[in-house]
Amino acid sequence: MVAIDLGSNTIRMIEYDCDKKEVLNSFEKIVKTADKLVDSGVISDETIDRIVKAIEEAKEKLNFTDVVAVTTEALRQAKNKDEVLKIVKEKTGVEFKIISPEEEAYYTTIATEEVIAKRYRYKNMFLVDIGGGSTELILKNKKELISESFQIGIVTISPKHKSIEALEYGIKKDVKPFKDFINFIKASYMPDIFVASSGTPTTIAALKIGLDYETYDPQKVNGVVLEIKDLDFWLNELLKMERSKREKLVGVGRGDLIVSGIMIFKEIFLMSGFKRCIVSDNGVREGVAIDYCKNRKKNLL
């Protein structure tokens, strides 16, 4: 089966074998779903074209027999969401479901647990997913999944600020609501492990171990440990680079966004009180695949 996650910046897909519980192939492309969404409130025709082209390109690589496709914050916000999804279905045959923040947190969590549980023992996991249009903060243990979604993401926050100084100040101000949730889970659950999913943490993890956008390997990135000093180092390094060199490392169209992502990530890191964070490449698309396979197995029994 193929699981698709259309995010606010990137469309990510995997072909997954339910019986073997393994990823057979993957595809991702930057489509800038939330481009100009903050100003216009709608997803443009150009953006729709990019999404359609990405799906058609993926069909050359993945087997689209069984497809489950979800989309998140950009489509949740877009005034023309119904029209966008109708056009995409007509042109590609793929029907997307707009999932809630709670569903997004669920998929991210079950996918992340697949990675983390193999490497670590823990009682209460604090998980952060810094997306293009929103950030999910999650507490997960054996009995509960508690999450809160904030409409602060790397794609939507970057255009608001014209300088690095303004961006840093704006992020510090905008992420203040995170603190109440983080303080609540620290006081009530005392998390013993801090995990981060999504593009910013995985990119920094890749850079830390000597990979770039072209050589990126999810298996090598899974389980990499980051500290705040890693964020500071790579933020400074990336800011010193020309855009072309920066985008060679992190991907075309992500050169400025990664800066916002690191700044958001650092603020969460500081609020958490943790000294280290474990990175998971697994995210929504893997969670969608795992959930689909579990439900299929139940239906067969």
**Residues forming a β-bridge with 26:** 14
**114 burial level (CB within 10 Å; 0-12, 13-18, 19+):** middle
Q: How far apart are CA 264 and CA 56, in angstroms?
A: 33
Predicted confidence band of residue 153 (pLDDT cuts 50, 70, 90): confident
Whether residue 227 is predicted with pLDDT greater than 70 in this model: the reply is yes
Q: How far apart are CA 138 and CA 119, in angstroms?
A: 19
Ordered DSSP codes for 85-133: HHHHHHHH-PPEEE--HHHHHHHHHHHHHHHHTTT---SSEEEEEE-SS
Strands (E), 151-269: 193-197, 225-226
Q: How far apart are CA 68 and CA 13, in angstroms?
A: 10
Q: Kindly report, residue by residue over 34-56, the tens digit of the pLDDT.
A: 888 888 999 999 999 999 999 99
pLDDT at 299: 63
Q: Kindly report, residue by residue over 66-92, the tens digit of the pLDDT.
A: 999 999 999 999 999 999 999 999 999
Whether residue 22 is predicted with pLDDT greater than 60 in this model: the reply is yes
